[in-house]
Amino acid sequence: MDVRGTSKSCRQIDVQALAVAVFKGEKPNSGFLKDLDKQVGGLIGNVIQTEEFAAKEGETAYFHLTNSGLKAKRLLLIGCGERDEYKAAQISRFGGTASRFLRGKNAKTIAIAPRVESDAGSAAQMVIQSAVMGLFEPDKYRKEKEKRELKEIVVVIEGADEKAVQRGAERGGIVGEAVNYTRDLANEPGGYMTPTILATRAKETSRKFGLTFDVLDQNQMEKLGMGSLLGVSRGSDEPPKLIVMKYEPRSRKRGKTLLALVGKGITFDSGGISLKPGENMELMKYDMTGAATVIGTMRAIAQLKPSIPVLGVAPCSENLPSGKATKPGDVLVAMTGKTIEVINTDAEGRLVLADAIAYAKKLGATQIIDMATLTGAVSIALGDVNVGILGTDQALIDGVIDAGSGVGEKFWQLPLDKEYSAQIKSDIADIKNVGGRKAGTITAAAFLKEFADGVSWAHLDIAGTAWGEDAKPYRAKGPTGIAVRTLIEFVERSARDQTS
């Protein structure tokens, strides 16, 4: 599929369908909307005047055009709500709604006009990346799939800098494809996405886009003393893998900071001996979304080429019950030498992340952002709206939150006071892997904090936001690819800050 940007008039764009943003309370009596309404013979004014279309966010009005002044033969109006609330999240939902709706109408080539007044390059990127994301479907294994597909998406920002719009469109295509790649990984059934297969996919991505790649096998992890990660993998016949990807810019100012992205890669989570209820266990294929997020983000970084190095680390394992599996009450020894009493084998994500964070530090990381579908508690606290974020470096946390705001993804900081660490003290070991019912998301982060000492660290709990239970006008049901856009934005901002 081709993506491109243009600053030409909507009248000049030769596509099958045109999607246009319309704002609540807006009338076609001036400016862009007046001119467009004139070109289509008053259809916009009529549908607004009769109150069939009020431009509430997500509302649509669709027309087939005859004898109009547009080259497009179809017009889609998409409501975007209040004009002063039209920011990154709303622009993104607009772009996704346009591509999903028009593909459903079998349009092959479409143009999308977001009607922004400033920062055209960023707006073009947001529109294209969300339009590409809108095309993802979780139907990979259906015999009869939706065969309709778009061949071209054009973002139109009239009167803007043509080169800026085109650059934004190209970047948006890269980011959108990276998000969809992440979603595809997360959607794979556990039988088709073992640690070995995920490592192979990461290796293929690294080779294709020029990343350095390495993977540690069980023997190497044993030599390094990664007893925490290996304690999780013990119950499975599938061997664990520790994926390492690195982006190194060709030329950069030598700095002291090395950012590592660390993502939980439990390719299927049954809970182990602390077995989960059978209902909805099939969704536990998505418990490797943290690792998928790292791989997808690294894929985009390799193409966007920021001027700072980035390390990607993904500890991968299955969590299954067997005669070899770790049992509640067992004690594991992590790579750092810290001993861990396992109270609940279903709190396994923090165990694999512990050794991965320690290994990232060994590789020279001075700044670490980890991400994981870590706790059910975060869904109770924040639902499916905000990602929970915690950490030890407020500047890093603020940077991630601000980057998320810039791309339309929401993060909410939870506290990490030292009192919470008291809940994970063990009677027989240094720490235990659960701290009881209270503050489950926070005590999970307090556990990871034990392994992130000496570095700038932030933790993202994406358990409530990584899977969409319902389809939206702008997004299919299933994996969301949350945080990929935020992490890319954070890396690029960091690169600008370090080279300015």
> Where in the sequence numbering do the catalytic residues fall?
276, 350
* Cα separation, 187 vs 480, whole angstroms: 10
Across 400-455, the runs of DSSP E, i.e. the strands, are 411-413, 431-432
Residue 350, amino acid? R
* Cα separation, 376 vs 443, whole angstroms: 12
Read off the tokens for 85.
Answer: 């609330």
Instruction: Please check whether residue 275 is in contact with residue 222, taking contact to mean a CB–CB distance below 8 angstroms.
Output: no
How many Å from the N-terminal Cα to the C-terminal Cα in the chain? 35
Number of neighbours of residue 412 by Cβ within 10 angstroms? 13
**380-383 contacts: CB < 8 A, separation 24 or more?**
381/414, 381/441, 382/412, 382/464, 383/464
Read off the tokens for 310.
Answer: 């980035």
Dihedral sign of CA atoms 285, 287, 290, 291 in order: negative
Instruction: Please check whether residue 204 is in contact with residue 271, taking contact to mean a CB–CB distance below 8 angstroms.
Output: no
For 452, phi then psi, to 5°, come to -105, 15
Read off the tokens for 331.
Answer: 């004690």
Instruction: Please check whether residue 125 is in contact with residue 172, taking contact to mean a CB–CB distance below 8 angstroms.
Output: yes
Read off the tokens for 260.
Answer: 């590592």
* Cα separation, 123 vs 34, whole angstroms: 22
**What's the length of the chain?**
500
Q: Which residues contact 38 (CB under 8 A, 6 or more apart)?
A: 69
Nearest to residue 375, comparing CAs of 419, 340, 344? Answer: 344
Strands ordered across the beta sheet of 339-341:
331-333, 339-341, 431-432
